[in-house]
A = this chain, B = another copy of it.
Amino acid sequence: MALSGKNLIAGQWVTNDEQNTFSAYLPATDDLGKIQFYNVSSEQVNTAVEAAQLAFPRYRRISAAERASFLQTIAESIMSLGDELLQITHMETGLSVERLRGERQRTINQLNAFSVELLNPSYTDIEEPGDETRSPVPKPSTKLTRIPLGPVAVFGASNFPYAFSTLGGDTVAALAAGCPVVVKAHPAHPGTSELMALAIHHAIDKLAIPKGVFSQFHSTDPVLAHQLVRHSGIKAVGFTGSQKVAELLIKSIQLRSDSIPFYGELGSINPQFVFSEKIKHGSGALAQQLCLSLLMGNGQFCTSPGVWIVPESATDFIETCSTFMSEQYSDTLLTKGIQKEYESSVSALKMNKQLRNIANAKQLQHFHGTPSLFATNAYHFVTNEQLRKEVFGPCAVIVTYKQIEELQQIVSVMEGQLTASVHGTERDFEEHKDLIESISFKVGRLIYNQMPTGVEVCASMNHGGPYPASTDIRSTSVGQQAMSRFLRPLCIQNFSE
């Protein structure tokens, strides 16, 4: 399975200028891959969107059952790529083959979950009959249904090369909703993106779906990303990435003459609130669980627990965390950019006198991300905004508090989060009832006594939250409800079948 380095524009595998290419970063060896990937041209981006616009009227009329079968065929196509897919992604991301196997299964499950949703929709039209005899005016018959928004632009994420990338949640939700998709592939795993595009290309061919329904392009030039979101043919944007890039894209979208949804899933420190009775009943297991949760994907999960808030008395807990973390080893980070950023953030924390650096894992390679733990108190955490910023990678800050008032202050200065966990006994939860209610207004998902990492794909999931966790608090990027982000209501009045 040789990679071509090409872009898939409405069914055509296209190159561009031979001089304008890039290579994938290979985290394991801190090196560049051999394959050249073609940066797309501005015209090719427009071609992709125009093809999506043309395909939209045909694609939206395809029945739900046919769309379900399309998603299932994509799932089969992914599996027929075989384990070579896992190998290539492993090279490009440094993530273990085992982890990638799990993520691939999650992506398959996601495609299947949306198929099932299409076949057995949880949403049903609301129909209300008319009443000619009503006074002073007759009541018209009305039916509320949902229709797709139109072509969707999707920006793949670096940290989940399958589940949040080319064929990730946003693409699948959009396709399920009846929207064509144009993907800007993440340059951290271009080969993986090409293979996933190949999988959907095969499914499109097999089922004779209009070819404009899916395009994917590579571009290391941000100008083309901005061109994509400003194109009048694009009717919604799904994005997973940094707050900085999202804010730039939002500025471009604001230049449009219309107003379209921008669904950005950005950063989160996912605070972990640990209450006192829980600590009294023994905190060793919790300490270890939090460390392991932080270490998942070497801290590069969007739900990675970045702040652990514990009673001042929790000295054993802190000790356990410190010991455990010191025994761990460094690991690769996804990109050179993430690695540099992580290094400089951790250095800044080490220089900060308000923090104690209580543990560092063993560094195996100079280009690795080395897990680090810091400790501070509630006063510093509340008064110094810098301590509340996300560090993308395996770094967490333990914050100690003396009394409930400090917990309230922490919650009130907290920015919007994807998740927060509360760790406690029934009595703890009863005592902190109001506090927990306040926490729920700062998060997309509130978790009792479990780790934040691991986002279940199900109908009752919400992966989103107040800004800057997401740019649209009303919408989830994970689970079957994500389909509704690409649908909108239409009322049909006085229609007879």
Which positions in A face B, CB cutoff 8 Å? Answer: 57, 61, 102, 122, 125-128, 136-137, 139-140, 142-144, 147, 149-150, 250, 254, 258-259, 261, 416, 434, 437-438, 440-441, 443-450, 454, 456, 458-464, 466-468, 471-476, 481, 487-496
Contacts and interface: CB of A to CB of B under 8 A. Distances in A.
A347 to B, nearest CB: 27
A144 B460 contact: yes
Nearest to A475: B489
Contacts of A144: 459-462, 481
A494 B128 contact: no
Contact of A473 (B456, B458, B474, B488): B488
Nearest to A251: B254
A443 B495 CA distance: 15
Nearest to A445: B491
B259 A493 contact: no
A261 B493 contact: no
B259 A472 contact: yes
A450 B491 contact: no
A490 B440 contact: yes
A37 to B, nearest CB: 33
A450 B459 CA distance: 38
B441 A147 contact: yes
Contacts of A57: 434, 437-438
Given A258-B467, A471-B259, A494-B450, A126 B459 contact: yes
A312 B474 CA distance: 47
Q: Count copies of this chain in the complex.
A: 2
Given A149-B473, A438-B57, A494-B450, A143 B259 contact: no
Contact of A491 (B254, B461, B466): B461
What 10 pairs between A and B have smallest CB-CB spacing? Answer: A462-B491, A144-B460, A258-B467, A445-B491, A126-B460, A462-B489, A142-B460, A447-B493, A448-B494, A473-B488
Nearest to A101: B136
Contacts of A139: 456, 458
Contacts of A447: 140, 493-494
Contact of A458 (B128, B464, B488): B128
A141 to B, nearest CB: 9
B259 A250 contact: yes
Contacts of A490: 440, 443-446, 462
Contacts of A493: 445-448, 450
Contact of A127 (B448, B460, B468): B460
B468 A489 contact: no
9 contacts: A102-B136, A125-B460, A126-B460, A142-B461, A144-B462, A261-B474, A440-B492, A443-B490, A474-B488
Nearest to A256: B467
Nearest to A448: B494
Contacts of A464: 489
Q: Which of A127, A434, A443, A447 has the most CB of B within 10 A?
A: A447
A312 to B, nearest CB: 27
Given A445-B491, A454-B137, A488-B474, A128 B459 contact: yes
A242 to B, nearest CB: 15
B140 A491 contact: no
A418 to B, nearest CB: 10
Contacts of A450: 140, 493-494
A481 B489 contact: yes
A250 to B, nearest CB: 7
A444 B434 CA distance: 41
A449 to B, nearest CB: 6
A429 to B, nearest CB: 9
A460 B494 contact: no
